[in-house]
Amino acid sequence: MNSISNIWNHPRTSAAGLLIAIVTIAGVLSEQGISFGKAGSGTILSLVTALATALLGLLSKDPGGSQSPDSGIPSSSISKLSAWLLIAMLIPLPWMQGCTAAGAAQNIVNWTPALQSAVAAVDSTGALLSPSDAPAFATATADFDRDSNVLVQQAKSYLEHPTAGTLVQLQNQIVVLQQQVNVALLQASRIMDSASQQHAMAAIQAVSVIVTAILSIVQSASSKAEVAQMASHSTIKLAAVKPYLNPSQAAQIVADHYGEPVHVAEIQVAQAQQEAFAAGF
């Protein structure tokens, strides 16, 4: 026990030091293009989450939990943040793992049941709104059914035939649906009745989260020129609707879909949004 305590207290083998070492190794592996091969994202997710959980547990007992001299923030708090940043580094965005056309296509198809369910929930939300707000909501979301169904069919077609032609169809259709969702969010933000607005926003955001995930998948399977072409048709940008989005709801949807901790999903949602901003959406 004394030897373990000595190791823990040693400045070069503290939890913070261990985190720095692992992050450094992860960065080197990434730069060298070394992947985890056929272990699978689920296996790696479990491995890294377990590692981070163990580190977080140890950090709560870290004898070096003094304050940072520069920030006044407890070093244990900084190390806990580092642990979650470690997860973000080691686990790529699940919807950005479609490096191959087939992988991207399967990822899109995996999202389609959730998309159809979210759109069905939008259809039933009108009954929860005040009589004065329901018609405008119905108009704003009228094309969700049609265009989401088109996207679902195109995704299945792309999975079967991942060609340049089917990819172009997906690229065009996901932007069409993204723009419809953004318009609906802006219109829902003008609903005066607070209860109606809350119902409307929650329903539309559920669709928005899935559409954003699929957009990211399509981006991962597209060239820079193709992404730029897609973004040129995105007239209502993410920045315009971001104030009306609920990050907690988005993270929960992503966490449930990929079977991962919400903390991980929160980082991934933020990364996806940043990717969309950078691409011009």
Q: pLDDT of 167-207, one tens digit each? A: 999 999 999 999 999 999 999 999 999 999 999 999 999 99
- Determine the structural domain holding residue 256 and report its residue range: 96-279
Same domain (yes/no): 28, 160: no
CA dihedral 30, 34, 39, 40 (to 10 degrees): 50
262: confidence class by pLDDT, cuts 50, 70, 90: very high
Query: Within this chain, do residues 77 and 187 fall inside the same structural domain, yes or no?
Result: no
Q: Which of 91, 120, 150 is the last residue of a domain?
A: 91
Q: Is the domain of 268 the same as that of 136? A: yes
Given 35, 63, 91, which residue is the final one in a domain? 91
- Taking the CA atoms of residue 116, residue 117, residue 123 and residue 127 in that order, the dihedral angle to the nearest 10 degrees is 180
Average pLDDT, the chain: 78
| Mean pLDDT, residues 27-45 | 43
**Same domain, yes or no: 263 and 231:** yes
Q: Which residue has the higher pLDDT, 216 or 100?
A: 216
**Domain shared by 13 and 74, yes or no:** yes
| pLDDT recorded at residue 101 | 73
Q: Look up residue 246 and give its DSSP letter.
A: -
Does the pLDDT of residue 100 top 50, yes or no?
A: yes
Rounded Cα–Cα distance for residues 158 and 225 (Å): 20
CA distances from 266 to 193, 230, 253, 261, 262 (A): 29, 26, 10, 9, 6
Mean pLDDT of 223-247: 95
- State whether 261 and 131 are in the same domain: yes
Given a cut of 70, is residue 87 above it in pLDDT? no
Residue 253's closest CA among 199, 212, 197? 212
Cβ atoms of residues 159 and 169 within 8 Å: no
Which pLDDT band, with edges at 50, 70 and 90, does 76 fall under?
Answer: low
Highest mean pLDDT among 40-44, 126-130, 161-165: 126-130
Q: What is the pLDDT at residue 272?
A: 87
Question: Is residue 235 a contact partner of residue 153, using CB atoms and an 8 Å limit?
Answer: no
Kindly tell me if the per-residue pLDDT of 68 is higher than 60. Answer: no
Which of the listed residues 36, 59, 91 is the one where a domain comes to its end?
Answer: 91
Please give the C-alpha separations between residue 125 and each of 48, 131, 138, 140, 250, in angstroms, as whole numbers: 39, 12, 9, 12, 18
Number of domains in the chain: 2
Contact 181, 244 (CB under 8 A): no
Please give the single-letter amino acid code of residue 153.
Q
Q: Are residues 160 and 203 in the same domain?
A: yes
Token readout for 94 is: 């699940």
Between 45 and 210, the higher pLDDT residue: 210
* Statement to judge: residues 142 and 207 lie in one domain: yes
Same domain, 79 and 125: no
Domain shared by 28 and 100, yes or no: no
Helix axes 247-258 and 194-220, enclosed angle (nearest 10): 50
Contact present, 37 and 97 (Cβ < 8 Å): no
Residues 146 and 64 in one domain: no
Q: Which stretch of 4-8, 91-95, 240-244 has the lowest confidence by average pLDDT?
A: 4-8
Q: Please, are residues 212 and 220 in contact by the beta-carbon 8 Å criterion?
A: no
Residues 110 and 196 both lie in one domain: yes
